[in-house]
Amino acid sequence: MQVMKNTATITGTVTVSTDGSALSNPNGPMGWGWAEHTDTTGGHIASSTGRDCDCGGASNGTNQIGELCAVLQALRTHRGSYCLIIESDSQYAIKCSTIWLEGWKKNGWKNSKHEPVKNAPLIKAIDREISERPGPVSFTWVKGHAGNMYNEKVDSLARGYAEKCQAGRAPNYLPYEGWQSLISSIYGHSMTIPDNPSQAPQADDYLAADQTSRPEADKDTTKEGSRNRVSNSATAPTIETTETTETTVAHELLAQIRSAADQFNLAAQRLENASAHMDKAIASLDEAIRRFDDSSWDNNHQDTLF
């Protein structure tokens, strides 16, 4: 599928949700994602790529790098004169893009401890995009994992890509400044910036179209699909025979198959329930990490974040 650049004239306000994820924060597979609120634009897509979402990540990184990459890519794909609202559940990403960067610029990009600001390449790029954009940009904080449809979508995009990086099923896909921030941290010592990296990653059909890390089909094959396969085996045509012994054996085999099918279905149900509990635990852990990071920054403990 060929991606066509969007040349339509956009008016009004466009809202884009962003999110970052790290499976083991810090120093674990990371992801980023953005998604347009197409329900408020009548289905029209404003991004220059002609897509309503995109995602990426790397095999190693931090949640903060993922959050900032998502904001930067949302800005780069929405450079029009229309009003742009960026929604994020990260106080860190919002304050880096608005309040804190003004002080850092005055201090020569040094923090309160007179140390280099972490993730400065990404923050500087975000500042440039906002300053050079014809239309205004504003940020809105939303509570994470609270049922917000688009926040859940970008969380799924970011976390899903991080999971693919962890499994070796997706390539590293970051903006150039994301690579710079990663390499300059202690978590990128074994990584190198790609040759001739572009300022923004090119849209990729497979990545951008992969909107969720857990397709419904996977759930079906875990539970109902497995049950159907076993049931088909249990109801396979039987061979009638006049021999009593053969009939008895056939009935016993069918009974054993049905019993095995019931046990399998019960195990599948338990596995699905355990998976649901694990998803909730992961969501709670993500929220706890965000709260810790935000409170650390609010208390000026900037040396604890990456």
Which residues are the active-site residues?
19-20, 67, 89, 145, 155
Whole-angstrom distance, CA of residue 164 vs CA of residue 154: 15
Nearest to 96 by CA among 201, 18, 9: 18
The C-alpha atoms of residue 74 and residue 284 are separated, in whole angstroms, by: 26
Take residue 111 and report the two structure tokens written for it: 């923090």
Helix (H) or strand (E) holding 249: helix 244-298
Whether the CA torsion 114, 120, 125, 126 is positive or negative: it is: negative
Give the phi and the psi of residue 288 in degrees, each rounded to 5.
-65, -40
E strands, the chain, are 13-22, 28-36, 53-61, 83-88, 137-141
> In 114-215, where do the E strands start and end?
137-141
CA angle at 37 for the pair 100 and 96, rounded to the nearest 5°: 5
Please report the DSSP string for 62-89 in residue order: -HHHHHHHHHHHHHHT--SSSEEEEEES
Give the number of C-alpha atoms closer than 13 A to the C-alpha of residue 154, restricted to the C-beta side.
32
Residue 239 neighbours by CB distance under 10 Å: 7
Q: Which two tokens stand for residue 306?
A: 């990456």
Helices marked H in 25-76 — which ranges?
A: 63-76
